[in-house]
Amino acid sequence: MMHLLLTEASSFAPKVDFLIDLIFVIVTFWFVVAQAIFFYFIFRYSRKRNPRAGYVTGETHEETKWVHWAHYFVIACDLVIIFFSMQVWYHIKQELPPADHTIRVVGEQWAWRFTDPGADNKLDTADDINTIDEVHVEVDKVYHFQLEAKDVVHSFSVPAFRLKQDAVPGRVITGWFKPTREGGYDVQCTQMCGIGHGIMGGRIIVESHEKHAAWVQAHTSPVAALAAPSSAVAEGAGNVPSPAGAKPVRLVTSQQFHYSPLAKVNSSPLAK
């Protein structure tokens, strides 16, 4: 049912939706049962039909079994939920499948800063592509992300991926996702992080291999392209020509720009 309300765009999104649907079905079942019994008692034992109220101590086995049986059924439902919850949690948070690409995600007041490894598929090299509030990824590829927080606690959330991970200052948290559907999806911060929390949004663009290779090539500076091994450039860019009129993203570091939460203006010295 969840997929009818929100697009499933990652490999583990159906597992999360199944868990939500399971909880919804179980809770709805017990809600209907409880309300049905409640209204049955209201009408069955109304004052009109029972002018003299009966006194029930609830001490005999015949009386207590109605409480105990319901209790046991509820515990059984809880165990079912716990069993599937542990499976989903372990798959998303504990398993770490081999990565096709690794990106860096840094949350700061009040923006998301992304670093793509570029054509050589290695972070912290000359051809890294740094962007703000938007990152491009390739469909059907496993991505590891190195999540950091520059100032306060943030939370990296991509609802369409069913992904949420807190970012803690001083820690590098590794997570993963595998996008399965092309398109543009929202990135949110789901931890109160200051006055600009409400505008701390971004976008993650999932695209085909050809489009992603073209994006990488178009946003790699000529100097960085020369510094990268020719084989890596050919593999990462797929020898796809740069789109006409494409503008490269400015390569900036955390020391080179100041982010305004109100104007969202990059005042990097490179922009002057």
Name the burial class of residue 20, with classes exposed (0-12), middle (13-18) and buried (19+) by CB atoms within 10 angstroms of its CB.
Answer: middle
271 within some domain: no
Is there a single domain that holds both residue 81 and residue 162?
no
Q: Which pLDDT value is given to residue 228? A: 55
Closest CA to 167 of 93, 89, 115, 105: 105
Q: Which pLDDT value is given to residue 42? A: 86
Is there a single domain that holds both residue 9 and residue 129?
no
Is there a single domain that holds both residue 244 and residue 114?
yes
Q: Summarize pLDDT for 164-210 with one digit per residue, the tens.
A: 999 999 999 999 999 999 999 999 999 998 999 988 999 999 999 99
**Residue 73 amino acid letter:** F
Residue that is written with structure tokens 């392209």 in the block: 225
268 within some domain: no
Is there a single domain that holds both residue 236 and residue 106?
yes
CATH code at 197? 2.60.40.420
53 within some domain: yes
**Residue 107: which domain range?**
101-260
Q: Which pLDDT value is given to residue 251? A: 43
Domain termination site, one of 94, 129, 152: 94
Q: Which pLDDT value is given to residue 227? A: 56
CATH code at 67? 1.10.287
Does residue 234 carry a pLDDT above 70?
no
**Residue 128 amino acid letter:** D
Name the burial class of residue 190, with classes exposed (0-12), middle (13-18) and buried (19+) by CB atoms within 10 angstroms of its CB.
Answer: middle
Beta carbons of 17 and 3 less than 8 angstroms apart: yes
Across the chain, mean pLDDT equals 81
Q: How many residues does the chain have?
A: 272
CB atoms under 10 Å from CB of 169, counted, come to 13
Domain termination site, one of 94, 128, 146: 94
pTM, full prediction: 0.72
Residue 263: pLDDT band with limits 50, 70, 90: very low
Domain termination site, one of 94, 115, 145: 94
Q: Which carries the bigger pLDDT value, residue 47 or residue 118?
A: 118
Q: Give the C-alpha separation, 242 to 102, whole Å.
A: 23
Show the DSSP H helices in the chain as ranges. 2-5, 13-44, 61-89, 209-218, 222-227, 230-237
Concatenate the DSSP letters of all residues of 206-221 into one string: EE-HHHHHHHHHHTS-
Is there a single domain that holds both residue 45 and residue 125?
no
Beta carbons of 178 and 29 less than 8 angstroms apart: no
Please give the distance of CA 127 from its chain centroid, rounded to a whole number: 27
Is there a single domain that holds both residue 77 and residue 128?
no
Q: Which pLDDT value is given to residue 236? A: 44
Q: Summarize pLDDT for 126-149 with one digit per residue, the tens.
A: 889 999 999 999 999 999 999 999
Measured on CA atoms in the order 68, 72, 73, 74, is the torsion positive or negative?
A: positive
Q: Summarize pLDDT for 48-92 with one digit per residue, the tens.
A: 777 777 777 777 777 788 788 888 999 999 999 999 999 999 999
Q: How far is CA 120 from CA 129, 147, 179, 196, 233, in A?
A: 11, 21, 21, 35, 6
Does residue 248 carry a pLDDT above 60?
no
Summarize the confidence of residues 254-262 as an average pLDDT.
40
